[in-house]
Copies of this chain bind each other. A is one copy, B any other.
């Protein structure tokens, strides 16, 4: 019987694919093992368990989000960059309904790769905020504001939380427009 040739990385990557197909909460070691053509306990040679898999699984989408945001911001500034980055974030969440929730898991401080990916994502936003004249603690607050607004929106949207027959695209545009105004008027009362 030849070996499957798995590594922790391949297991986690396949878990990401599977999560997008069946949903994050329905991601199961049993289904993952079947997908990889391997018996369930064999996975324990590569991941410590389902909880560790979830933790590991957070790294990939975090890095992908960082990439997507960085790409979207390239060559733009101000409200232009803000809209592009927000749209890219939302698009990622919709295209990856399984791995996006995985990314919400906070990094283990000991996981340098995960921490770095998170910082890269935050850095993409921070660069835009610099164009609004925001830095230091203001930038931290403004980044948290961006994350709260955009994550909150896509989470509620994915959960079917917007019931009224009003186009969510419009609402999202208004959200980002409001964010833009909030950033521009940061110092005001």
Please indicate the chain B residues that have their CB under 8 angstroms from the CB of A164 in the complex: 140
Please indicate the chain B residues that have their CB under 8 angstroms from the CB of A153 in the complex: 144, 148, 152
Query: Per DSSP, are chain A's interface residues mostly helix, strand or loop, or mixed?
Result: helix
Q: Is the CB of B104 within 8 A of A159?
A: yes
Assembled-state Cα–Cα distance A148/B104 (Å)? 15
Q: Is the CB of A148 within 8 A of B141?
A: no
Partner-binding segment picked from A5-13, A37-45, A68-76, A180-188: A180-188
CB distance from A159 to the nearest CB of B (A): 5
Partner-binding segment picked from A14-22, A28-36, A168-176: A168-176
For chain A, the bracket of interface size reads 35 or more
Assembled-state Cα–Cα distance A149/B182 (Å)? 12
Q: Is the CB of B107 within 8 A of A171?
A: no
Is A155 an interface position by the 8 A CB rule? yes
Residue of B nearest to A107 (CB): B163
Is A60 an interface position by the 8 A CB rule? no
- Contact of A155 with B151 at beta-carbon distance under 8 Å, contacts A179-B182, A185-B185 already known: yes
CB contact list, A96-122 vs B, under 8 A:
104-107, 118
Is A178 an interface position by the 8 A CB rule? yes
Q: Is the CB of A145 within 8 A of B174?
A: yes
Assembled-state Cα–Cα distance A182/B144 (Å)? 16
